Amino acid sequence: MEQKTEPCPLCGKEEDSWENKIKEKEQQEKHLRAFIAGRESLDILSKRENEVMDCFFNKGMNDFRMIATLLRVSPSAIETYYDRAMDKLMNMDFEL
């Protein structure tokens, strides 16, 4: 017999669905970390593209102007490096 959980008194959702969402989120984050770490070992990205991706993902800098200031290039150059890197990463054939 299946055990039924009590719904949340605030939102009405069952605890199991919330726990499942948390587990899914943790799994996605684990895959993302593996993906980000793996990109550095593939020699697909240029040195500058890797620097931009490191700033964006590892340092949490999501503003191209901040990254541009750190790397001493223009924000439009950062946007170009980011777009090129993402295009290369999205065209990779990989499994997690």
pLDDT digits (tens, 9 = 90+) for 20-66: 888 888 877 776 666 666 666 667 889 999 899 888 887 888 889 99
What's the rounded Cα separation, in Å, for the pair 6 and 3? 10
Read off the pLDDT of residues 9-19 as tens digits, 9 standing for 90 and up: 677 666 677 77
Q: Could you tell me the residue ranges of all domains in the chain?
A: 15-90
Report the top-level CATH class of 15-90: mainly alpha
pLDDT of residue 13: 64
For 55-84, what is the mean pLDDT?
91
User: pTM, whole model, 2 decimals?
Assistant: 0.58
